[in-house]
Structure 1
Amino acid sequence: MGLMFRKRKKYGPLVLNFTENGFSSWTVRLGRWSWNSKARAHRVDLPGPLSWKQDKSRSRA
């Protein structure tokens, strides 16, 4: 398994995610809640190492 390049740029509540191929996705983060454009998932950070994630339903065409 090789090394992977990842970088994040933060602009207030907006986070831009980059990989070795360039721009990957963007995330909006407000407090403990966040939403990612690539995963289309809501995530809430819970106390300790826990988090809750709700994926957008992928069963729709």
Structure 2
Amino acid sequence: MAHPNTKAKVESPMRVIDEIMSYNGVLKDVEELYKKMNLITNEANTRICQATELPPILVFSKEKEHL
């Protein structure tokens, strides 16, 4: 059984997958796919996380020096 505190961890990646799937069969070539993936990735990385109240890209940049 899933716990309420893990629900967002599962649903967040699914939102990105749903955005990718909406372009199924619509893209002309690999370059257009690359542009759409960059757009989706940038939007996902700048969206404010409810748990941390920070965008993931900011959290990653802080943690990156410790990796």
TM-score bracket, normalised by the shorter chain, equals under 0.3
Normalized per residue, which structure has more helix? 2
Structure with higher Rg: it is 2
Q: TM-score, normalising length from structure 1?
A: 0.26
TM-score by length of 2: 0.25
